[in-house]
Amino acid sequence: MTSHIADVLIPLALDTAYSYAVPDGLDLKEGDVVQVPLASREVVGVVWGLRSGQGGNLKKVTGVVDAPNLSAKMRKFLDWIAWYTLAPKGSALAMGLKLVDAERAEVVRVGVRLAGQLPKRMTPARQKVIEAAQDGVVRLKSELAHAAGVSAGVVDGLIDEGTLETVTLLQEPVAEAPNPDSGSAALSDGQQAAALELIASMAEEHPPVTLLEGVTGSGKTEVYFEAVAQAVRDGRQALILMPEIALTTQFLDRFAARFGVKPATWHSGVTGRKRERLYAAIASGEVRVVAGARSALFLPYADLGLIVVDEEHETAYKQDDGVHYHARDMAVVRGRIENASVVLASATPSIESRVNVQRGRYRHVQLPERFGGRQMPQIRAVDLRRETIPKGRWLSPTLNLSIEDTLGRGEQVLLFLNRRGYAPLTLCRACAHRYECPNCSAWLVEHRFRRSLVCHHCGHVERTPQACISCGSIDSLVPCGPGVERIAEEVAEIFPDKRCVVLSSDMLGGTERLRTELAAIADGAFDIVIGTQLVAKGHNFPLMTLVGVLDADIGLTSGDPRAAERTFQMLQQVTGRAGRGEKPGRALVQTWQPDHPVIAALVSGDAERFYEEETRVREIAGLPPFGRLASLIVSAAEREAAEAHARAMALVAQPPAGVTVLGPAEAPLALIRGRYRFRLLVKTEREVDLQAYLRDWLGRCPKVRGNARVAIDVDPQSFL
């Protein structure tokens, strides 16, 4: 008799599957979720492979867990991610395995209703229950007891007597079925043509990746909704990935207007039983459309026909801890494995996706105009070298005039500054002490409203002191530079009778409050909105006609190779919030460098010029997507340990032709959360197998000792 061996992958940072003997009589399939012994514990894992063999001295699989089987496609996807990111396979699995926790498994709900037969012995309490149940409605036992004003025992007694009968209550569906033909949108000709192109491509034998590029306010959402409708008609599932799913009330309403119901949503705020039921319903195919954050990419779809990546250029798609993956790129991989169409939507696509169009790897569908004949905003640079702004103020006279003018017409203004808090740096006027985070190499940011100094990297908070902690002087602290709170103060002084709101991700009241405020802005409840990048993305504020960018240069000076691209995208997005309603919009961009290519391209409205220039710069420098990058961060609690290990790694790098290894160098953020960081950067030509080189190199590296760690980031988006 041949017995079987199961190779079981365990969702821990382990790179190989462990072998177990399959006990007689246990019928296992690949992808089954099982329980196995590991060291002295029992853990859950997934059968990654099955083979015949004796396995005499192997430990045995304990049993099968009642959780959806992980399909071959899903396992292939997870293997691929582990290969690409160099993460342990078990860590990739951990992202894909959201187990049904047996202890919290849903209790079947039982209801009762009148069956007719009277009890042999009638009591006043029983009489009350029978009266309360007279209407024949099915109620939970506890509800009926409550309605009758008796204890649950009385209800139980009547069940035993046959007076009441029990009925298993149906669970509410996790998500209702979207109707693809519910509120068919009246698309513009341009939208119609774009939608048809997407739909046609879905029927191809190997569905392509399409870049859906449309200017801000062109109505991309309505276009990809048509592709979603097609997936639903085809009986397949659709996934819409979004960077800020928690703030998308407007989006959910638009979905409901088109499909009759809201989509299922998946993000970290969906917890407990809801999460488990959703997971199971996605695996069974019951849930047809999911709108979710990047983690929704790891759900076990039964038959995925379409993936939309909305705002595909967003940095929020990159996960920068644990498994370092980019959800946009992994969506393309998953689409290929599932034979699903992939639509990347953006008004400001990444250079990567643009180049993929040029290389013929992606299709290109464009919407060059705004929906409903609306005009793009007029954008002007305000040259800060020519403006006289009083010390401690940031709004230029030119901007102030425009604000006044706009408010005078009863329209809305957005002031954009991508800095949270009151001031990015605090120093002592007496001794020049600068307030710095004890755990990170970063200044503490003053949050005046909370009366505290906060580290934006590790969350360290201290109360803003009355006396300088260094020299003891009283009232000597000065804020340097502006954050949104400080701008709000200035605005309140200049426009005292206007309704003003500050929006940033650290707002008190959290997501719930943000949602309310965003809706209030759309309804015109505020005159002036001051916000960080949070307000720049995706929102539709119909009354907003003026956008003022307070400091367009902030992002341009960082050493990040993507600084220009990021700044361009951000400015294009935020200025794109102006003039989306009936009235035309304009934008004023305060800058010290009006001739900078990014600012010049923005003002001229010639995005093409920017893309061409930036693509050329990347090509000459051999930067992505013309070359490949990986960053290795070595960190440790002691600076010497981190540096020594990074140096030891560099010694055995042995880069072959086409590969350059730079560093180690102290990372720009040399200390985060009490860990010192050194960085090695690998740069290769495009044809080089980067992963193979990295594996080879890591194989030669000395073992990490103590608390040192090496984090590998393929295609890094952050260079801090």
Ligand X SMILES: Nc1ncnc2c1ncn2[C@@H]1O[C@H](COP(=O)(O)OP(=O)(O)OP(=O)(O)O)[C@@H](O)[C@H]1O
Return the number of the residue (589 or 644) whose C-beta is nearest ligand X.
Answer: 589
**136: alpha, beta or left, given left = phi > 0 and alpha = psi -120 to 50?**
left
CB 575 within 8 A of CB 379: yes
187 binds ligand X (CB under 6 A): yes
State the Cα–Cα distance between residues 34 and 46, nearest whole angstrom.
Answer: 6
**How many other C-beta atoms are found inside a 10 Å radius of the C-beta of residue 152?**
12
- Of 392 and 584, the one with the shorter C-beta distance to ligand X is 584
Whether residue 12 contacts residue 1, with contact meaning beta carbons closer than 8 Å, is answered with no
Structure-block tokens of residue 660 = 């350059």
Residue stretches of the annotated binding site = 428, 431, 437, 440, 455, 458, 468, 471
533 binds, among Zn ion, ligand X, none (CB under 5 to 8 A by kind): none
Rounded distance, CA 199 to CA 513, Å? 38
Query: Which entry of Zn ion, ligand X, none binds 357, CB below 5 to 8 A by partner kind?
Result: none
Would you say 219 or 305 has its CB closer to ligand X?
219
Contact residue for ligand X among 96, 214, 305, 548 (CB under 6 A): 214
Restricting to residues 416-475, which ones interact with Zn ion according to CB under 5 A?
A: 437, 439-440, 455, 457-458, 460
Indicate whether 218 belongs to the interface with ligand X (CB under 6 A): yes
- Select the span of 197-205, 215-223, 384-392, 666-674 touching ligand X (CB under 6 A): 215-223
Q: Could you tell me how many residues of this chain bind Zn ion (CB under 5 A)? A: 7
Q: Is 528 in the site for Zn ion (CB under 5 A)?
A: no
* Residues 208, 361 contacting (CB under 8 angstroms): no
Spatial neighbors of 714 by CB under 8 A, at least 6 apart, are 84, 85, 86, 324, 628, 629, 630, 690, 691, 694
Closest CA to 247 of 288, 293, 287: 293
Q: Which of residues 282-311 bind ligand X (CB under 6 A)?
A: none
Nearest to 447 by CA among 456, 436, 439: 456
Q: Whose Cβ is closer to Zn ion: residue 158's or residue 667's?
A: 667
Among the listed ranges 136-144, 182-190, 270-278, 685-693, the one in contact with ligand X (CB under 6 A) is 182-190
CB contact set of 685 (below 8 Å; sequence gap of 6+) = 622, 627, 628, 658, 659
The site string for Zn ion over 279-308 (x = CB under 5 A, - otherwise) reads ------------------------------
Sequence-distant (≥ 6) Cβ neighbours of residue 571 within 8 angstroms: 549, 552, 589, 598, 599, 602
Q: How far is the CB of 424 from Zn ion (least distance, A)?
A: 14
E strands within 514-582?
528-531, 544-549
Least Cβ distance, residue 415 to Zn ion (angstroms): 28
Can you tell me which of 77, 91, 202, 222 binds ligand X, judged by CB under 6 A?
A: 222
Q: Which of 216, 350, 412, 590 binds ligand X (CB under 6 A)?
A: 216
Binding part of the chain for ligand X, among 117-125, 214-222, 502-510, 607-615 by CB under 6 A, reads 214-222
Closer residue to Zn ion (CB): 434 or 499: 434
Single residue of 185, 309, 384, 642 touching ligand X by CB under 6 A: 185
Contact indicator for 282, 303 with CB cutoff of 8 Å: no
Residue 439 C-beta: closest distance to Zn ion, Å = 4
| Closest CB to ligand X among residues 218, 567 | 218
Which two structure tokens, joined as six digits, stand for 183? 């509120």
- Provide the token pair at 314: 């967003």
Q: What are phi and psi of 612, to 5 degrees?
A: -60, -50
Closest separation in Å from C-beta 143 to ligand X: 42
Q: Which stretch binds ligand X (CB under 6 A): 105-113, 218-226, 296-304, 418-426?
A: 218-226
List interacting residues with ligand X (CB under 6 A): 185-188, 191, 214, 216-222, 347, 371, 538, 540, 576, 580
List interacting residues with Zn ion (CB under 5 A): 437, 439-440, 455, 457-458, 460
